[in-house]
Amino acid sequence: MTAHFLNYEFGYIFLLCSLIFLIFSFLIKIKALKKTCIIFFSFFLSLTFVELILSLYMQKPQMEKKENYIYKLENFTTHQVREIKLIDGKGNMSAFYNSDGSSDFGGCQKIYDVCYTMFGNGFRYTKCDYKSKEAYVFLGCSFVFGAGVNDNETLPYFFSEETSFKSNVLNCGCISKASSTSINILQNDTIGEFLKDVEIKHFFYSFVGDHIERNFRIETSTCCMDNYKFINNRFSRIPQPFGTIKVAFARSYIFRKVFLRQIDKHNRRFYENYMIESLKEMEKIIKEKYKSKLTILVWKYFLEKDLIKKIKQTNLDVIFIDQSLNSEESGYSIPFDGHPTAKANKEIAQYLYNKYVNGY
């Protein structure tokens, strides 16, 4: 019942407002006020119908947040999750988890069918030497986690392979997240649970253009969201211009359809500047807390030229990944999906190993 109400919250609110003004229109005797009440009744009733119509083809609002990576692990046992991703004739994609693959998917094309081996907090398992006293940490989103590829096809796996699996390699990539999650991981003891008394030689953060807005999305019905930072043992929403309005009306279909895009467009420069400051904050934490170095992998074809220029003007260690490494035709990108293939991950891992381990 609660879920139903929240899915149509503003429809009910507008309907209630229309009924209130309708009642007042019957009770009030002054013609001018009666006319005003009728106008407001008609206005809110119209909003009710528009909300209802939009709810028929827009996804239901979702504001729940799950931050498993912050939980303390009682042990380091792993479990497997199988994901099957499909696309229909209209271009709509859907995913099935822990399916045996024998179901009738109605003639949809299978994009991928993979298994993820994960720890209890959501980090993905990487084959390596967990007893090694030197480690490498990968931060980022699904590009690092390895959405759409198997355990032996992720970026951290191929990097570990370059070390002949003799180093400790930790995959902290979190699907649908951005720089806020990476900072949360760095600031807390999450990494320390995995890497105790270990020298972390290098950190790598994979920056995809959508991270810019993920840090400020309020609801995640259609997109990824990462707008909470863990400060003083609690999650707090990241402040932003018009943030209160976005939170207040996040469940309104009309607001999401008409006004939200305009607010995000207005806030774009703020989002970009925050992203750059987040990268600097990451570097500072890594330098001061872990006595290590950070390299940022920037998938630049997702970014505007002005932002690329701003990033180049910083003192950050940045590697710009060109569009050629996200080409479906060349086998670097999963068709219809956009995530890197094993081929792309392997080439990037080889480059990182040669540059930051071998030194050439």
Residues 127, 50: one domain?
A: no
Residues 22, 156: one domain?
A: no
CATH of the domain at 284: 3.40.50.1110
Residues 49, 159: one domain?
A: no
Q: What is the pLDDT along the chain (360 residues), one digit of tens a residue?
A: 566 777 889 999 999 999 999 999 999 889 999 999 999 999 999 999 999 999 998 888 877 665 666 666 667 789 999 998 888 877 777 777 776 555 666 678 888 999 999 998 889 999 999 899 999 999 999 999 999 999 999 999 999 999 999 999 999 999 999 999 999 999 888 898 888 889 999 999 999 999 999 999 987 765 788 888 877 777 888 999 999 999 999 999 999 999 999 999 999 999 999 999 999 999 999 999 999 999 999 998 778 888 999 999 999 999 999 888 888 888 999 998 889 999 999 999 999 999 998 876
Q: Has residue 63 been placed in a domain?
A: no
Helices 268-289, 179-187: crossing angle, 10 deg rounding: 20
Q: Has residue 159 been placed in a domain?
A: yes
Q: Has residue 105 been placed in a domain?
A: no
Residues 243, 334: one domain?
A: yes
**Domain count across the chain:** 2
Residues 169, 311: one domain?
A: yes
Q: Has residue 97 been placed in a domain?
A: no
Residues 10, 153: one domain?
A: no
CB 142 within 8 A of CB 339: yes
Residues 136, 46: one domain?
A: no
Residues 201, 283: one domain?
A: yes
Residues 290, 151: one domain?
A: yes
- Residue range of the domain that includes 31: 2-57
Q: Has residue 202 been placed in a domain?
A: yes
Q: Where are the alpha helices (DSSP H) in the chain?
A: 2-7, 9-27, 31-57, 142-145, 155-162, 179-187, 190-194, 211-214, 243-248, 253-254, 260-266, 268-289, 305-312, 342-356
- Would you list the DSSP string of 169-201? EEEEE-TT--HHHHHHHHHSSHHHHH-TT-EEE
Residues 38, 124: one domain?
A: no
Q: Has residue 103 been placed in a domain?
A: no
Q: Has residue 323 been placed in a domain?
A: yes
Q: Has residue 102 been placed in a domain?
A: no
User: How would you classify residue 115: left for phi > 0, otherwise alpha for psi between -120 and 50, otherwise beta?
Assistant: beta
Cα separations in angstroms, 116 against 153, 284, 320, 337, 342? 11, 32, 28, 17, 14
